[in-house]
Amino acid sequence: MTRLHDPSYRGFASDNYAGAHPEVLAALADANEGHQIAYGEDVYTARLQEVVRGHFGDQAEAWPVFNGTGANVTALTSMLPRWGAVVATSTAHIHTDENAAPERVSGLKLLTVDTPDGKLTPELIGTEAWGWGDEHRAQPLAVSITQTTELGTLYTVDEVRAIADYAHERGMLLHMDGARVSNAAAALGTGFAEFTSEAGVDVLSFGGTKNGLVFGEAIVVLNPAASDGLVYLRKLNMQLASKMRFVSAQLIALLEGDLWLRSASHANAMAARLRSALEDAISTGSINGSSLGFTQPTQANAVFATLPPGVADKLRESFRFYDWNPATGEVRWMTAWDTTEADIDTFVAAIADQLAR
């Protein structure tokens, strides 16, 4: 096949734009030859269980799936009865970007809460955590948080534990959408267990695609009593890979050593470089501080900023990225495992040039 794209092109729209890490591609090649039993009865999926338990504890069990939406929907379905509801933020991916799949496929109800920073607190959960036993109200039986959040912010270990305690005291379960869970661990300077299994998270959607995989995520059940029926639900939700060894092999490559940490730490560092370079340009006067603002702290691999009208469209002629709130000029810039310092410096120079115009 002839290569159809320019490999030197870089965008800042999503870490999904990045290719696969060479170590992940090597793992796919290593897993490729010969025959292995299909649908998860292979040696790679068995090894994945050992690797996952090393990170999350002896009770953890990994269920590889195709994608993040499938992980979230299938995980929540396994956690709730038909009449259950999930408390989440109004910016949660399960609410804004999964085409109502949790509600349409699972039939559950999302109870959303507005937040300034994409993070739930016990007090915010309390605004929707009520009405148990009322036959007229969907029963709030789970909480879902995203780590890192859709606004690029980060839950601390103590914040996750406080939410878990609040939920469990009320008979609710805690799900974590971990699409960027590796970036969170790298930013917190901890392993995964400290803010998941040890902090009271019951079920985790573990993200790999945004951190260098070709495809594939995993539902990681941290509390076996919190989830039921995954052996059936993966197939029911079209998330059961026949050649599962290729999903599992990628996750092993990510988690068996420190690839997850190296890749996530680099992505985080590139976002910090972008933010710092722009702030330095403002402080030195090369960028007018009134023309560029920041709307959220940069805690992992996302920078949220505001630009004057028309500037984002001009920049997008060379660098793809998304508007977050067109009404206010807010945009989102994401960095990835393969973003380079030169990529950042070129982008900063382009931003400064457009703002000067």
Radius of gyration of the chain (CA): 21
What domains are defined for the chain?
Answer: 21-258 (3.40.640.10), 260-356 (3.90.1150.10)
Judge whether 269 and 280 are in contact, CB under 8 Å.
no
Residues 254-277 have pLDDT tens digits of 999 999 999 999 999 999 999 999
Tell me the pTM.
0.97
pLDDT at 288: 86
Confidence of residue 324 (pLDDT cuts 50, 70, 90): very high
What's the pLDDT score for residue 357?
Answer: 83
Question: Which of 210, 73, 241, 84 lies closest to 147 in space, CA to CA?
Answer: 210
For the cut 90, the answer to whether the pLDDT of residue 234 exceeds it is: yes
Mean pLDDT of 167-182: 98
Token code pair at residue 100: 């109502």
For residue 356, how many other CB atoms are within 10 A of its CB? Answer: 10
Q: Give 20-38 pLDDT, tens digit per residue.
A: 999 999 999 999 999 999 9
For the chain, what percent of residues have pLDDT higher than 70?
100
Query: Helix 259-284 to helix 341-356 angle, to the nearest 10 degrees?
Result: 30
Q: How far apart are CA 129 and CA 113, in angstroms?
A: 11
**Pairing label, strands 139-146, 173-178:** parallel
Closest CA to 175 of 99, 116, 120: 120
**What's the pLDDT score for residue 290?**
87
Cα–Cα nearest to 237, from 261, 275, 205: 205
Q: What is the pLDDT of residue 204?
A: 99
Stretch (H or E) spanning 351: helix 341-356
Q: Which residues pair with 332 in a beta bridge?
A: 304, 322
Beta carbons within 8 Å of 195's beta carbon, 6+ residues apart: 147, 155, 156, 157, 160, 184, 185, 188, 201
